[in-house]
Amino acid sequence: MSHYIKPSKKIWTGRQSEQQLYLHEKVVCLPIGDLQRQSGKTFALLGYACDEGVKRNQGRVGAKDGPQHIRRALAKMPNHLPQKKYVFDLGDVICPDGDLESAQQQLAEHVAQILQSGALPILLGGGHDMAYGHYNGIKKYLISEKRRPSIGIINFDAHFDLREDSNGANSGTPFYQIANENDPFHYLCMGIRKDANDRELYRTAQKFGVKYLERETFRMQFVEEINKWIKAFLKGVDHVYVTIDLDGFSSAFAPGVSAASPMGYSQDIVLESLKTILSSNKLISVDIAEMNPKYDVDDQTAKLAASLVHFIVHSLS
């Protein structure tokens, strides 16, 4: 059974300008099988329309519809990209019949394919279980290029997502799975909350040498120290994969997630942190996880996710 659906131009609508003033006029829908080697800077959007991992993790389902809502919000935003910078929508990886493992495998193959084309993958989720497939796709690409796969993960999140996978994979297990399969394991979490992680998860983080900043420290008044942490982490890796779990934000900014909380962080510190990461020239791929439109308010969370994508592509152009 196929775990992929082609992109649809119908989702990319908004004001008409005939001058590509808006992103819906800029984005090109392209089946991933038609993706060719890119000579210039190209951004490739790929959805992960799956919340089976959230369901298995006893969370609120609905994130499978997240990619489409992020696209709708992004479509209406202004386009400031140079004419020769391209943005492709490559469609979605899906999860029929709850086959999470096959969806993750399919995702890995597509991420490797995007990287081989020379484009920057920007994945839209969907449950955070996509991190496992995403990471493996990056690794597969680097190995195929005979390059040292030294991949650092920076996760903006309230949760470690280091739960054991003895009962199968879910949205809480991806980094535990990655840690068990990769030595060394380079993992930095930003925004961890004690009210969202039990003692065993902290022990697991210590076991794997995870570096993390808790929510109390991850705020604007400590931005200089935070950037020092990020720069120190970046020095130890060749490439960095950034994953942004929307449930790390306060529900004041992101009500539409699988596990909302008013105790999360603000968007300001995430943007400042992203500036430091993007300026390192080590970013290899990025995703945004846990967008759950079922619980969104006035598309607030979708707009936050879209604004993060908008910020990343324009900062790199």
> Which residue positions form the known binding site for Mn(2+)?
128, 157, 159, 161, 245, 247
Is residue 55 within 8 Å of 129, Cβ to Cβ?
no
Please give the annotated binding residues, written as ranges.
128, 157, 159, 161, 245, 247
The helix-helix angle for 300-315 and 66-75 (nearest 10°) equals 60
HSE of 280, CA atoms in CB hemisphere, 13 A: 24
Cα–Cα distances (Å) from 74 to 12, 38, 61, 304, in that order, read 8, 23, 23, 10
Question: Residue 95 and residue 107: Cα distance in Å, rounded?
Answer: 10
Neighbours of 244 (CB within 10 A): 25
Q: Which residues of 191-223 are buried (b: 16+ CB within 10 A; e: fewer)?
A: bbbeebbeeebbebbeebebbbbebebbeeeee
The DSSP 8-state label assigned to residue 7 in this structure reads -
Residue for token pair 């990343």: 312
The helix-helix angle for 223-235 and 267-278 (nearest 10°) equals 40
Question: Residue 281 and residue 136: Cα distance in Å, rounded?
Answer: 21
